């Protein structure tokens, strides 16, 4: 059984060796995760043991999770959200279908009214509701819950779909973009090469042919080899990437871009954010709540010669950009617009790369706001868009 599991991991392009697989078998024989009886060792115990013995780098965790779930079919992701709202309230039994006229008739609340109403519902509600327009539940038109429709509400649990939530009551797990992703096209690298500024630094590793010829001729024909430092791209880039939520639709293309950037640029620093930049960012999505990097510290750490590139779909509630406390995940003291302005002021060479099709930009209010904050320096994640962005940054 486990031999097929090993081949499943290899098929998923995980760098798992036979030695590591034998270590897993030894751990099982030694009862590391419990007695040998099959029903005494839970799938969760085996999952953590297998991951600890077979995965050498955290960036492969996502690939391992998918391969593990595919092989054992039905494995559930382990997470303890400790919700205060009873899970029974959020059990989805139906998918409510509304006509365009019914959707248009549903009025959305303002920010203050939405927050105050949620507080009242939590105090008043005593049981599960479904399909209604008032209580916390599923499948209805209430602004609280999930699985239904409301033009502006607070999603509590469940999966998103309408992209209209202004707040999310859930602990969501994002994954890092894979910087080893093979590019679907080399043209992305070609577009990035417009952002180049070569300099010779470091030790002498490269033959200087013209100087060698001159020195040899001046030395009466005796070979006099001259070396120079290799040429490196001296451009410095600070890359800030949106992750999670609506960005899940663009993972493959962003990973291709991320791989190309890491391959082309020697001086690269990157951080993650969700939807909009606030007072902190992070470098590892699995530890985003434990290892935060202050946005002020990032601004102070890097010089003005760094070129700032945002990558994100800019698709969110306008409150997330303009309203204190507007973040879907926590109560931010200052609006995202303030932080975007501070970043663009600190790094005069900046651009925003948007993976959303340019044809839908005019229909997203948040995209229009970000474009204004970026001084219209927003470019689509296309070859032409990348070339235009790199040309602008290289001026």
pLDDT value at residue 312: 94
pLDDT value at residue 206: 66
For residue 30, give every residue at least 6 positions away whose Cβ sits within 8 Å of its Cβ, in sequence order, or none: none
The DSSP letter of residue 66 is: H
Q: Is residue 188 a contact partner of residue 256, using CB atoms and an 8 Å limit? A: yes
172-184 pLDDT tens trace: 566 666 655 444 4
pLDDT value at residue 152: 57
325-378 pLDDT tens trace: 888 888 889 999 999 999 999 999 999 999 999 889 988 899 999 999 999 999
Asked whether the predicted pLDDT for residue 101 surpasses 80, the reply is: no
Q: Is residue 142 a contact partner of residue 134, using CB atoms and an 8 Å limit? A: yes
Neighbouring C-beta atoms of residue 281, cutoff 10 Å: 21
CA distance 212 to 232: 21
pLDDT value at residue 185: 45
Asked whether the predicted pLDDT for residue 322 surpasses 80, the reply is: yes
Instruction: For domain 187-195+234-393, give the CATH number.
Output: 3.40.50
Q: What are phi and psi of 255, to 5 degrees?
A: -65, -40
Query: What mean pLDDT, rounded, does the chain reach?
Result: 75
If pLDDT is split at 50, 70 and 90, which confidence band does 222 have? confident
Nearest CA-CA partner of 144 in 116, 136, 111? 136
What stretch of H or E contains 27? Answer: helix 18-29
What stretch of H or E contains 45? Answer: helix 43-54
Tokens at 93, concatenated: 């039994």
If pLDDT is split at 50, 70 and 90, which confidence band does 198 have? very low
Asked whether the predicted pLDDT for residue 54 surpasses 50, the reply is: yes
Q: Return the exposure string of 75-113: e unless at least 16 CB atoms fall within 10 Å of the residue's CB, then b.
A: eeeeeeeeeeeeeebbebeeeeeeeeeeeeebeebebee
Average pLDDT over residues 47-59: 85
Asked whether the predicted pLDDT for residue 149 surpasses 80, the reply is: no
- Paired with 233 in beta bridges are 198
If pLDDT is split at 50, 70 and 90, which confidence band does 43 have? confident
Q: Return the exposure string of 286-305: e unless at least 16 CB atoms fall within 10 Å of the residue's CB, then b.
A: bebeeeeeebeebeeebeee
Asked whether the predicted pLDDT for residue 13 surpasses 60, the reply is: yes
pLDDT value at residue 257: 87
The DSSP letter of residue 59 is: G
Asked whether the predicted pLDDT for residue 240 surpasses 90, the reply is: yes
Q: Is residue 178 a contact partner of residue 255, using CB atoms and an 8 Å limit? A: yes
For 211, the 3-state DSSP assignment is helix
pLDDT value at residue 81: 34
| Cα Dmax for the chain | 99
Helix boundaries (H) for 265-382? 295-301, 319-322, 336-346, 365-373
Q: Is 153 exposed, middle or buried (0-12, 13-18, 19+ CB in 10 A)?
A: buried
List Cα–Cα distances, 135 to 112, 127, 144, 147, in angstroms: 18, 9, 7, 13
Tokens at 189, concatenated: 């690298």
Asked whether the predicted pLDDT for residue 90 surpasses 60, the reply is: no
CA distance 388 to 382: 10
Orientation of helix 336-346 relative to helix 365-373, angle to 10°: 30
291-320 pLDDT tens trace: 899 999 999 999 998 999 999 999 998 989
Residue carrying the six token digits 């902190």: 280
20-34 pLDDT tens trace: 888 888 888 888 876
| Three-state secondary structure string covering 357-385 | CHHHHHHCHHHHHHHHHCCCCEEECCHHH
């Amino acid at each position: 059984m486990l031999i097929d599991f090993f081949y499943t991991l290899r098929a998923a392009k995980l760098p798992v060796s036979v030695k590591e697989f034998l270590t897993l078998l030894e751990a099982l024989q030694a009862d590391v995760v419990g007695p040998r009886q099959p029903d005494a060792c839970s799938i969760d115990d085996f999952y953590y043991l297998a991951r600890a013995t077979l995965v050498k780098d955290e960036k492969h965790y996502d690939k391992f999770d998918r391969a593990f779930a595919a092989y054992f079919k039905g494995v559930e992701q382990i997470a303890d959200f400790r919700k205060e709202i009873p899970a029974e309230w959020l059990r989805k039994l139906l998918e409510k279908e509304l006509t365009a006229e019914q959707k248009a008739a549903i009025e959305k609340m303002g920010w203050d009214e939405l927050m105050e109403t949620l507080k009242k519902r939590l105090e008043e509600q005593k049981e599960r509701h479904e399909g209604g327009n008032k209580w916390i539940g599923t499948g209805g038109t209430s602004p609280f819950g999930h699985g239904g429709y409301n033009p502006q509400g607070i999603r509590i649990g469940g999966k998103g779909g309408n992209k209209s939530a202004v707040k999310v009551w859930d602990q969501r797990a994002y994954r890092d973009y894979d910087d080893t992703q093979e590019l679907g096209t080399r043209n992305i690298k070609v577009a990035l090469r417009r952002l180049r500024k070569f300099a010779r630094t470091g030790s002498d590793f490269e033959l200087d042919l013209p100087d060698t010829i001159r020195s040899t001729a001046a030395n009466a024909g005796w070979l006099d080899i001259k070396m120079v430092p290799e040429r490196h791209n001296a451009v410095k880039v600070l890359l800030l990437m949106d992750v999670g939520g609506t960005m899940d639709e663009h993972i493959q293309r962003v990973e291709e871009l991320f791989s190309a950037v890491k391959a082309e640029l020697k001086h690269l620093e990157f951080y993650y954010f969700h939807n909009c930049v606030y007072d902190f960012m992070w470098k590892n999505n699995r530890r985003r709540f434990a290892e935060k990097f202050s946005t002020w510290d990032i601004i102070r750490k890097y010089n003005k010669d760094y070129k700032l590139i945002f990558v994100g779909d800019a698709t969110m509630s306008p409150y997330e950009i303009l309203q204190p406390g507007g973040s879907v995940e926590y109560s931010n003291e200052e609006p995202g617009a303030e932080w975007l302005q501070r970043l663009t002021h600190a790094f005069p060479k900046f651009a925003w790369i948007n993976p959303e099709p340019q044809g839908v930009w005019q229909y997203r209010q948040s995209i229009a706001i970000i474009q204004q904050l970026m001084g219209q320096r927003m470019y689509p994640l296309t070859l032409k868009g990348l070339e235009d962005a790199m040309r602008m940054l290289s001026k």
